Amino acid sequence: MSSSLLPQEVSQTLIGIVQAFASPDNNIRSQAESALNNTWITPENIDALLIFLCEQAAYSSDVTLSALSAVLFRKLAIRAPPNSAKSLIAKNITNISQTTLFSIRTILLQGFLDPNRENNIRHKLSDAIAECANEELPEWPELLESVFKIIADDTDAGSATDNSFKESCFRILSSAPHLINAVDFSMVIPLFEKGFTYDKNDDVKIAAVTAFVGYFKQLPKSHWSKLGYLLPSLLNSLPNFLSSGNDFALAAVFEPLIELVELAPKLFKEMFNEIVRFCDCVIKDRDLASNARTSALELLTVFSEYAPQMCKSSTVYGETLVMDCLMMMTEVSVDDEEALEWKISDDNDDDDQEEEYDHARQALDRVSLKLNGKYLVPFLFQYLEQMIVSPEWRQRFAALMALSSAVEGCRDVLMGKIGKILDITIPLINDPHPRVQYGACNALGQISTDFAPLVQRVAHQRIVPALISRLSSDCCERVQTHAAAALVNFSEEASQTIMEPYLDSLLSNLLVLLQSDKTYVQEQALTTIAFIANAAEKKFIKYYDTLMPLLINVLKTDTGAENRVLKGKCMECSTLIALAVGKQKFSTYSQELIDCFIRYQKDDEMKNDDPITSYLEHSWSRLCRLMREDFIPFLPIVLPPLIETAKASQDVTLIEEEEADNYQQYNEWDVVQIQGKHIAIHTSILDDKVSAMELIQIYASVLRNYFAGYVEEILLEIAIPSIDFYLHDGVRATGAKLITILLSSLISSTGVDTKVLELWSIAADKLVSGIMSEPMSEITQIYHSALADCIETINADCLTEQQVAAYTKGVSANLSDVYQRVNERRNNEDDYNEDVDNDLDDYADEDLLDEINKSLATIFKYKKEQYLPHFQTLLELISAYLHDTEQILVLFALVAIADMIQYCGEHTQPFKHLFINKVKEYLISPEPTIRQAASYIVGCCATSAPNLYADICNESLDVLLQVISIPDAKTEENLSATENASAAVAKILRTFNASLPNFNDNVQVWLKSFPIIQDEESAAFNYNFLCELIMKNHEAVVSKEALPVLLTCVVESLEKKVLRGDAAKSTINTMKQVLAQIPQDQIMTMFSGTSEEMMGNIQKWFG
């Protein structure tokens, strides 16, 4: 071993500590860990400790000590420095002195290059070296030179040592791809080419592919074309793995390939069909390991998600994908023809035990969602119709499950084939094999969800009896429960009229299932009863006196710890039935049920993870919704444990990479990577926190002023702090919503007093801070909504100047982020990516912009022109939006401008020139929503700043009259835009009537836009103006020709409930006054051509 940089006594002490980590004695290991943490992992000693560990890893002849030291070095290198305030992102290796760093690098590289080091130690040294090559650290040319030399050198090619060297070099590049960013491509390409074509060792090839993808991912797109040359070499390694039966290597290379497809799918365009055929060979080879076959299918699936047009253009993709999925879906109950193991299983969710089948189902679902029915259905039905009639039950089962998987994505085509699908599916409900019966139930359940509510209306007489037939005792329990589950799907979208004829048969069969000796059967029966009750509503009253005593009896009986979920299902079922039958009918057994709940609530022996807890919490909330203020006496029992759960803090643990898999085995933990560190988050605690907060929302919104006594504690200790839960989106989102509801509850009790304003100031600071810093647009929009709703609830100017300034800064950041995302999506179509329809991303940004508009409007409403100096800082962005071609951006800008004019009026003069020409241009936009918004702005100009915008209003009047007169003005697509244009005309006519040269002619044209049947705001203004004209006895509206037409229009708007509130009252009264002045015989003559139905409606409203 080389001479140490440390004193001998230091090295000897640390050797003893590290060796103790390998002891089988827990006490010895604990003492070693304590000594390391307390004495050596300190600001004074961390440099010495890292030097010691790298020396032992590089030089020690004790293999165990060397391996332990290498692992400990890497762990400590990425751990936060002692006493660091940035414990999640800071690292020791970037915090030590440069002298120490350079010494460590020299030592590690010497150890790595030593040909006598064991191969497994070299791999560990390569991991340590990668951490020392961190992008934040100085360059390391000696390392790069060594890596290139080793990979190029064939002197000892094929030996175990050379294989180890080459694999380790590629491992370093995988972890630190930036190392070769500055290297010329003429040197990089041969490096990877060497790895891809290295035929002496498959592990080297795998490491080379992984390194290549890591390097490719962090390069700018402008350089990608230079690397396309390497793809054939990369892909040529795959057939060798297949022919040699190396399924591990196949799966290992598919994984980085999938990442590459996600990044640049069109790189594979020229060789796409060959890739499809190769994957097909892998999938069909049932001798290969499951992960190799499912990885091949995953690769094909990912192509559909990132390059759907390329898949559709392929001559082999559709048929191959469908055939492979169907084949893998037959791989169930292997070597178990009667499916005995499946039949006796109590596990209703056992698909993960049949990995190929489950993966194929998911793949077909994902592909159908991307490629849709027009493309996929012909391939699918080509095989389904054969498989449905196959004598082999697995074929029939796979066909039914494939139909279930594809039906959502293929809805566009299959909705028109409901009859044909039922003709295929329903006969198999009576198939001799239980798994086929199960598949038929599954298909009917999926159809009931994806074709709702149409299928409920047109096919209930076929679906419901078929499913009821599988509830009978001659079916196996797995089929019975799945039929009951499918009935849940059906009833969710079924009306009580549809459900009523089947209730007797349904309930009699479900009550039999409740007597089953299988708990999971009883649980499903309870769930189905609950959902049927919810659908049947008051029609369920006749069954209440039979069912409720049974449920209460189960709750009163000690059925053992294994039946806790069953009791929870009883709670759920009883309270859903209570909601269905109503408060009056519920009162028969209400006290008895509540007494049961109280007993469980006060059970001190109930464990934290008792499944009853969640059921009980939600059941109490349903009773609150039903009983309303009668529930108040139970709040002291129900709320304290709920509040305690909602106060949970973030449980975050920094873990080692090798621990990640262990944590991810448990549903209650999630592992994320932040700057190379693995962080375990106890998500189950936070999920429970969210659930508790949602239940508190229900109590606060239902009980309102009666809940006020709890508001301050919940607001200060739960809702407001939740905005800081940066590792759980649900907590932040739910907390923001809760703030609004709590504030409303308090104000309904006390009014807007000093305490309310104190609490609001704290909440406003947090919401504004969230608007400024929140990375998720879906949550940012919730912050905007909460802020606006709270201000409206307080109904006053309640933000400080500092809060307004911070809010505006946040809006600016939000708008900039949206603009960047829109441009990225717009530019997504290139030589490497398709312009995939990212509807979810579009909707998220559209929703965010809607909520920013809402919050801006609220700020303007209460700040008026005082907000203009802040708003001015946004005008550059808003102007960019206004002049863009993206509809959601233009619409945002127009709405923001309308709010500014509406609330600031003549004070908007300095900004008029920035937008007014574009507004006039957009009055005739081909996009109805843009026309609508532009029309609304002109209307605001007329009502809020007539002096400033008189010229614009006069210039726009003729255009608006043309817009409302075009032949298709009243089509569904154009209706809202037309009605807004009509309202803008009314506003101009009302404001400028004396100065308009053709006022009477304009009124005549305007009247042709009636009735207003969609836009409430337009209806209110139009009919109010109409009433003014009537009261002024204007000839265009009181003539015997005009009056019947206008009355008919008013009735239609009233019937559509578009004309409502004060505007409706005013219009009705005005029309009554007009009719009262006309002799009855003249009225009869005027309305002689009116239909009997319309005359009845006129009599209803004006008689």
Least confident of 657-661, 719-723, 770-774, 958-962: 657-661
Average of pLDDT values for 836-849? 76
Q: Which pLDDT band holds residue 351 (cuts at 50, 70, 90)?
A: low
**Distances, alpha carbon 649 to alpha carbons 642, 682, 684, 692, 693, in Å:** 14, 10, 12, 13, 13
pLDDT at res. 226: 83
Q: Is pLDDT larger for residue 370 or for residue 1041?
A: 370
Report CA 148 to chain centroid distance, whole Å.
44
| Burial class of 809 by CB neighbour count within 10 A (0 to 12, 13 to 18, 19+) | middle
pLDDT at res. 996: 87
Q: How far apart (Å, rounded) are the C-alpha atoms in residues 31 and 607?
A: 34
- What φ, ψ does residue 513 adopt, rounded to 5°? -60, -30
- DSSP track, 487-507: HHHHHHT--HHHHGGGHHHHH
pLDDT at 1017 over 70: yes
3-state secondary structure of 1064: helix
Q: Which pLDDT band holds residue 656 (cuts at 50, 70, 90)?
A: low
Q: Are residues 571 and 527 in contact, defined by beta-carbon separation less than 8 angstroms? A: no
Q: Is pLDDT larger for residue 1020 or for residue 1084?
A: 1020
Q: Is pLDDT larger for residue 837 or for residue 1045?
A: 1045
% pLDDT > 90, the chain: 73
Average of pLDDT values for 446-468? 96
pLDDT at res. 663: 59
Average of pLDDT values for 318-337? 94
Q: Which pLDDT band holds residue 331 (cuts at 50, 70, 90)?
A: very high
pLDDT at 978 over 60: yes
pLDDT at res. 908: 96
Q: How far apart (Å, rounded) are the C-alpha atoms in residues 601 and 613?
A: 8
pLDDT at 417 over 80: yes
Residues 6+ apart with CB under 8 A from 286: 293, 331
pTM of the shown model:
0.85
Average of pLDDT values for 223-239? 86
Supply 217's token pair.
């991912």
pLDDT at 667 over 70: no
Q: Determine how many CB atoms are found less than 10 A away from the CB of residue 504.
A: 11
Q: Determine how many CB atoms are found less than 10 A away from the CB of residue 209.
A: 28
pLDDT at res. 541: 94
pLDDT at 1102 over 80: no
Q: Which pLDDT band holds residue 1 (cuts at 50, 70, 90)?
A: low
Average of pLDDT values for 328-342? 90
pLDDT at res. 213: 92
pLDDT at 352 over 60: no
Residues 6+ apart with CB under 8 A from 47: 96, 97, 100
pLDDT at 671 over 80: no
Residues 6+ apart with CB under 8 A from 1090: 1044, 1048, 1098
The residues with which 672 forms a beta bridge, in sequence order, are: 679
The residues with which 674 forms a beta bridge, in sequence order, are: 677
Q: Spell out the alpha helix ranges (H) of 228-269.
A: 231-243, 247-263
Residues 6+ apart with CB under 8 A from 926: none
Q: How far apart (Å, rounded) are the C-alpha atoms in residues 646 and 698?
A: 14
Is the preceding peptide bond at 1011 cis, omega within 30 degrees of 0?
A: yes
Q: Spell out the alpha helix ranges (H) of 501-634.
A: 503-513, 519-536, 541-556, 564-581, 583-586, 590-601, 612-627
- What φ, ψ does residue 476 adopt, rounded to 5°? -75, 155
% pLDDT > 70, the chain: 94
Q: Which pLDDT band holds residue 763 (cuts at 50, 70, 90)?
A: very high
Q: pLDDT digit string (tens) for 433-443?
A: 999 999 999 99
pLDDT at res. 842: 67
Q: Is pLDDT larger for residue 891 or for residue 337?
A: 891
Mean pLDDT for the chain overall: 91
pLDDT at 461 over 80: yes
pLDDT at res. 674: 59
Q: How far apart (Å, rounded) are the C-alpha atoms in residues 353 and 747?
A: 54
Residues making up the chain, counted from first to last: 1103
Average of pLDDT values for 294-323? 96
3-state secondary structure of 548: helix
Supply 553's token pair.
């009896």
Q: pLDDT digit string (tens) for 164-198?
A: 999 999 999 999 999 998 888 889 999 999 999 98
- Where in 930-971 does DSSP place strands (E)? none
Q: Determine how many CB atoms are found less than 10 A away from the CB of residue 761.
A: 13
